[in-house]
Amino acid sequence: MLQARRAALRWIPLLGLLSAAVSVSTAPSPVLGRISFPTSGASAAQATFIRGVLYLHSFEYDAAIDQFRQAQQIDPNFAMAYWGEALAYSQPLWRNESVDKARAVLARLAPNATARQAKAPTVREKGYLDAVEKLFGTGDQPARAKAYADRMGALHAQFPDDDEAAAFDALALLGTIPETERNQAVSLKAGAIALAILKKNPEHPGANHYALHAFDDGEHAAMALDAARTYARIAPASSHARHMPSHVFLTLGMWDEAAASDESAFAASVDLAKQKGLSASQYDFHALSWLHYEYLQQGRFAKARETMREVERAVGPGRAGGPGRSGESGRSGGSDSSASVVSGFSRTVIPVTSGLSATAPPVVSGFSRTVIPVASGTADGQHQHVESEIGKGYGSTSLKGELASMKARLVVESGDWALMRGQGSFENIDELYALGAASVKLGDGARAEVALEHLDTASKTVPDADAREIAHIMAAELDGLMRFARADRTGAFAALAHATAAEAKRPKPIARPYPIKPAGELFGELLLASGDAAGAVKQFQAALARTPRRAASLIGLARAAQKAGQRAAAVSAAKDFLAAWHLADAARPELAEARAIAR
């Protein structure tokens, strides 16, 4: 028996591009990367098990669960197949887990931990099972995540040549960082583990994936450029793998590469959902929301509007609102309680509706760093979506909130303020800020005053501390705009200096910037409008250091440097702007202006 197991361990394939020796399917295996993960299950179950692990590394949890279950059907005593299925019910970077489902999987293997340990024939496999026992054991989520990370660290140390132990150790470390915090030491440690794996196996999907997450903190993105250029190529069967490179490309202002990543990711998710007969709730709207921002930075405003129409179609008729009032229909009744609040967006808003009037309740949205915000209406706080084992899916409420944010960014980046003329309600503070800024630009001071009141209230009352801080900066920005419109330059510059200083204390953005209008960029625009070109140059340069190659900062710097007599800086900024906008809508006046400066 031992000889047979050793033989099985020797033949396990290194490639994720497997032709499974099972009768469940004759279709070509999906391209998901390459790993080596010797285990002692039956030979016939190895192909599906490996595919399950590959899917797991790319956060394709539903597909992973399906593969692990197939492996269990082939070999009912394959302990690691149960380990994999249980682990798929934890999505640490999405801040979601299904503890009861994971425990039920483990119970199918054996009724208790001792009996399950007996099912694992090697010390190494016992270690994997023990780790997942801790992940779904007693205690609250942070305590269990820490216990799991400690156990995976120990397993990695015990088996340093096991790339899977190393990869899951890296992910476990990232999973210990609270969603509202950053921990550079832990992130860099996880990233170093991932990079060490890639030196041995550049096509390891988990190592590429976790390196991207470890270094997407706004400070270290360049360290993951190789992973960004590799991951989607080695794992094209995963829409998430296609999206992940944009975590680095967007942060570095590589707009063409970022847009290509998210175009591919969204298209792949649509194709997969249609192949499986699933609803639009399974489309990757997370990637689409990033693509919208990337189009804006390319000056492709028509394409950005197309992404919004895709969301409007998913929200459904009568819910998205017209071109001037995205998501406004039906707001008086609050959020749609019949819709599952399921998968949302990285660094998105929690959509809470409010009216814009002096007497309206000061209810505004908070923010969530999670990719999948906790669902409402469930006893255990877990997501419920019938098309997904883990409850993944995009509901009407989350889509309406994101649509409002997309509209807000479109208005702010394009200067098409008329899109918000007369709007009387908002879904979140992104839309509220844009509504206030538009009201200033349109001369509607009364509406701007009410928007400022709501932002000020939000800065004091929303539950999340990070959201309160963002609302505070937005309020200072809007206050500065309003004062400038009233010719109170001293007050305007004081408000913008305060907003810029508060923004500078925050970590660099991981992806799309919050506030949606960077304070330093806005300060530069007002300084330039007042005639202080040299002061504006400094603000734009600081803004670009924080958010590289943002279009508004680049054209702002080109304008300011030209007026300040800084010819070289003006030409450089104008050329960089034109490079970023080489696919821009042809009629945009900024193009002619930048060309004139660049001559």
pLDDT digits 0-9 by tens, 285-316: 999 999 999 999 999 999 999 999 999 999 98
Mean of pLDDT values over 425-442: 97
pLDDT > 70? residue 382? no
Quick one: pLDDT band at residue 28, thresholds 50, 70, 90? confident
* Paired residues of 355 in beta bridges: 425
- Structural domain including 146 reads 2-244
Return the percentage of the chain with pLDDT > 70, whole number: 84
Contact 159, 165 (CB under 8 A): yes
Contact 557, 569 (CB under 8 A): yes
Same domain for 223 and 264?
no
* Total count of domains within the chain: 2
Contact 87, 110 (CB under 8 A): no
Same domain for 273 and 150?
no
Using one digit for the tens of pLDDT, what is the confidence trace for 243-297? Answer: 999 999 999 999 999 999 999 999 999 999 999 999 999 999 999 999 999 999 9
What distance in Å separates the CA atoms of residue 452 and residue 469, rounded to the nearest whole number? 15
What is the C-alpha R_g of the chain?
25
Look at residue 386 in the predicted model and tell me its pLDDT. Answer: 66
Look at residue 391 in the predicted model and tell me its pLDDT. Answer: 87
- 91: helix, coil or strand? strand
Quick one: pLDDT band at residue 460, thresholds 50, 70, 90? very high
Same domain for 237 and 262?
no
Structural element, H or E, at residue 190: helix 184-200
Using one digit for the tens of pLDDT, what is the confidence trace for 86-136? Answer: 999 999 999 999 999 999 999 999 999 999 999 999 999 999 999 999 999
Quick one: pLDDT band at residue 354, thresholds 50, 70, 90? low
- 106: helix, coil or strand? helix
Same domain for 219 and 327?
no
Closest CA to 385 of 150, 172, 586, 96: 96
Using one digit for the tens of pLDDT, what is the confidence trace for 197-243? Answer: 999 999 999 999 999 999 998 889 999 999 999 999 999 999 999 99
Same domain for 199 and 347?
no
What distance in Å separates the CA atoms of residue 295 and residue 274, rounded to the nearest whole number? 25
Using one digit for the tens of pLDDT, what is the confidence trace for 60-87? Answer: 999 999 999 999 999 999 999 999 999 9
Same domain for 152 and 293?
no
Q: Is residue 229 part of a domain?
A: yes
Look at residue 387 in the predicted model and tell me its pLDDT. Answer: 80
Q: Is residue 474 part of a domain?
A: no
Domain termination site, one of 437, 454, 471: 454
The amino acid sitting at 365 is S
End-to-end CA distance of the chain: 78
Mean of pLDDT values over 360-382: 31
**CATH number of residue 27's parent domain:** 1.25.40.10
Q: Is residue 86 part of a domain?
A: yes
- DSSP character at residue 90: E
Same domain for 174 and 288?
no
Closest CA to 577 of 411, 560, 479: 560
What's the whole-number average pLDDT of the chain? 87
Q: Is residue 588 part of a domain?
A: no
Same domain for 287 and 139?
no
Same domain for 225 and 319?
no
The amino acid sitting at 526 is L
Same domain for 281 and 222?
no
Phi-psi region of 397 (alpha: psi -120 to 50; beta: other; left: phi over 0): alpha
Q: Is residue 498 part of a domain?
A: no
Q: Is residue 439 part of a domain?
A: yes
Look at residue 179 in the predicted model and tell me its pLDDT. Answer: 85
Look at residue 316 in the predicted model and tell me its pLDDT. Answer: 83
Look at residue 355 in the predicted model and tell me its pLDDT. Answer: 60
Domain termination site, one of 454, 484, 518: 454
